[in-house]
Structure 1
Amino acid sequence: MKVLVAVKRVVDANVKVRVKADGSGVDLANVKMSINPFDEIAVEEAVRLKEAGVATEVVVVSCGGSACQETLRGAMAIGADRAILVESSDDVEPLGVAKVLKALVDKEQPRLVILGKQAIDNDCNQTGQMLAALAGLPQATFASKLLVVDGKAAVMREVDGGAETLSLTLPAVVTTDLRLNEPRYVTLPNIMKAKKKPLETVKPEDLGVDVSPRLKTLKVVEPPKRAAGVKVPDVKTLVEKLTTEAKVL
């Protein structure tokens, strides 16, 4: 069984994001970039399926500039077998990424596609759902546990009312939540091995996909700074402020 995993290069989760002075976007100069945490979980889950003998090949794919090769090499260091970079100079929107993945699904014919539920840079939470719709595949989002047996995938997921389990007939699309697994620590030998694994580079037009932007960012601003708190002398004053000022009681 072949598993296809999508990964995205984002600002490292531990970096404090800065907005450009002109408000045109996020300042990426000299900023550490990493694989999107949810995507790293997706790669880890695919590799675990291979180690368990369920999957035979793990293919990782990314869409973006040439710098994404570093992200793909990191995914192969975790354990993916090969990588595909769909190179584009534009900032590809979720719909464009979904169309690219749909073309790769048609080409590679994976039995399972795993994506992170969202990217931490835009928090869109759209690509997996769009891919499932475009490809006409069953989907399960926010997976906290995944079991693949006899051509079916059982996906446990947390919902507002508690938890539920979905049964999907493969091929299918699954998006990962944080509780699905804990990604392994990448060792130096595996990093060196990843440099020798195949990495194919294609253009969106080679796949017959138009990734031209359809959205326009008008302005990016930092969230307003939180106002300082107020100390109160006693509980009575606190209740009064909560009632008259905050109006939460």
Structure 2
Amino acid sequence: MKIIVCLKQVPNTNEVKIDSKTGTMIREGVPSIINPDDKNALEAALQLKEEKGASITLLTMGPPQADYALREALAMGADRAILLTDRAFAGADTWATSYTLAQAVKKIGQFDIIFCGRQAIDGDTAQVGPELAEHLDIPQVTYVKKILAVEKDKVVVERALEDGYEVVEAQLPVLLTAVKELNTPRYPSAYGIVAAFDEKEVETWTAETIGGNPEKLGLKGSPTQVKRSFAPKAKEAGVIIKGTAKEAVQVLRQELLAKHVL
């Protein structure tokens, strides 16, 4: 079995700040991490590797420093890592990003499952995984919370819904997007860390490597444009109402009337 896991290195959102003058994210000095949902996707792939002897190829698009995220994933147990990095990829929206990833997947060749995280914490669009499946013309199942069976030609999974779940069967090859309820990602072993940074290689692929239409890459291939970014205003501090239940209800009612809620 051959598995591809798409990862993204993202800023730690607890540290993100917005430049009030330019409206852009301040990235300098902000630590980067592997997108949390992508770690769940990787853990699912690693469990299948242990159960079925699968091989795992990591794939990410980003700046050269995304090499570190790939090496962390290699340390967890993946077999191969590919970094898509080129100025031609800069400014890509989800559509151009998914197109670029699809071109890379086609170059990688045969695969059975592509795992992606549900969404990235820096954009929260949840679009890249489904768009990648569309570019490749393969089935997709999003919001996977449990993998029930993986057979020679199909998978059976539980898909999370707002009010429950549904069981979905899909033919291979397939793309699955993972939610955090799927598993608990493992920590890299000491040996894995040493091997990932001293022995293993991260392949670097450029726009020329993957081919495709240059007009569909990066900013040129992005129909979406961000007009403005801003940090939401901090909410007012809450109010604790003391007294008996009857007294608290009366105070609450007066407050809601004053704010024209009632």
Query: If the length of structure 1 is used for normalisation, what is the TM-score?
Result: 0.92
Between 196-205 and 152-161, report the one with greater CA deviation: 196-205
Between 197-206 and 38-47, report the one with greater CA deviation: 197-206
Q: Give, in angstroms, the shift of residue 182 of structure 1.
A: 0.4
Is residue 113–residue 173 contact of structure 2 (8 Å, CA) maintained in 1? yes
Residue of structure 2 in register with 1:201 after alignment: 204
Stretches of structure 1 that go unaligned for 5 or more consecutive residues are none
Separation in 2, partners of 1:46, 1:91: 29
Residue of structure 2 in register with 1:62 after alignment: 60
Residue of structure 2 in register with 1:226 after alignment: 235
Could you tell me which amino acid in structure 1 is paired with residue 145 of structure 2?
A: S
Q: Give, in angstroms, the shift of residue 211 of structure 1.
A: 1.8
Separation in 1, partners of 2:64, 2:177: 25
Residue of structure 2 in register with 1:236 after alignment: 250
Q: Give, in angstroms, the shift of residue 244 of structure 1.
A: 5.6
Q: Give, in angstroms, the shift of residue 197 of structure 1.
A: 2.0
Residue of structure 2 in register with 1:100 after alignment: 100
1:52-92 deviations in Å (ceiling 9; x for gaps): 1252x100011011111111111111111011111133143
CA gap of 1:162–1:96, structure 2 versus 1, over 3 A, is same
Could you tell me which amino acid in structure 2 is paired with residue 101 of structure 1?
A: L
Secondary structure of the corresponding residue to residue 52 of structure 1? helix
Q: Give, in angstroms, the shift of residue 150 of structure 1.
A: 2.8
Could you tell me which amino acid in structure 2 is paired with residue 217 of structure 1?
A: V
Between 66-75 and 198-207, report the one with greater CA deviation: 198-207
Residue of structure 2 in register with 1:212 after alignment: 218
Query: If the length of structure 2 is used for normalisation, what is the TM-score?
Result: 0.87
Separation in 2, partners of 1:159, 1:190: 36
Is residue 59–residue 80 contact of structure 1 (8 Å, CA) maintained in 2? yes
Secondary structure of the corresponding residue to residue 67 of structure 1? helix
Separation in 2, partners of 1:2, 1:45: 13
Separation in 1, partners of 2:46, 2:182: 13
Separation in 1, partners of 2:208, 2:124: 27
Separation in 2, partners of 1:227, 1:83: 46
Q: Give, in angstroms, the shift of residue 218 of structure 1.
A: 2.5
Q: Give, in angstroms, the shift of residue 206 of structure 1.
A: 2.5
Q: Give, in angstroms, the shift of residue 243 of structure 1.
A: 4.9
Q: Give, in angstroms, the shift of residue 231 of structure 1.
A: 5.3
Task: Give aligned-pair identity as a percent.
Answer: 31
Secondary structure of the corresponding residue to residue 175 of structure 1? strand
Separation in 2, partners of 1:190, 1:229: 47
Is residue 7–residue 35 contact of structure 1 (8 Å, CA) maintained in 2? yes
C-alpha RMSD of the superposition: 1.8
Separation in 2, partners of 1:207, 1:25: 30
Secondary structure of the corresponding residue to residue 129 of structure 1? helix
In terms of fraction of residues, the more helix-rich structure is 2
Is residue 93–residue 211 contact of structure 1 (8 Å, CA) maintained in 2? no
Which runs of structure 2 are paired with 1:15-26 in the superposition (5 Å)?
A: 15-26=14-25
Is residue 85–residue 199 contact of structure 1 (8 Å, CA) maintained in 2? yes
Secondary structure of the corresponding residue to residue 184 of structure 1? coil
Q: Give, in angstroms, the shift of residue 137 of structure 1.
A: 0.6
Separation in 2, partners of 1:123, 1:29: 21
Between 189-198 and 226-235, report the one with greater CA deviation: 226-235
Q: Give, in angstroms, the shift of residue 246 of structure 1.
A: 5.3
Is residue 64–residue 85 contact of structure 1 (8 Å, CA) maintained in 2? yes
Is residue 154–residue 169 contact of structure 2 (8 Å, CA) maintained in 1? yes
Separation in 2, partners of 1:232, 1:68: 49
Residue of structure 1 in register with 2:71 after alignment: 73
How many residue pairs were aligned? 246
CA gap of 1:236–1:94, structure 2 versus 1, over 3 A, is same
Residue of structure 2 in register with 1:50 after alignment: 49
Stretches of structure 2 that go unaligned for 5 or more consecutive residues are none
1:107-138 deviations in Å (ceiling 9; x for gaps): 22211000001000011100111011111111
Is residue 75–residue 193 contact of structure 2 (8 Å, CA) maintained in 1? yes
Q: Give, in angstroms, the shift of residue 232 of structure 1.
A: 5.0
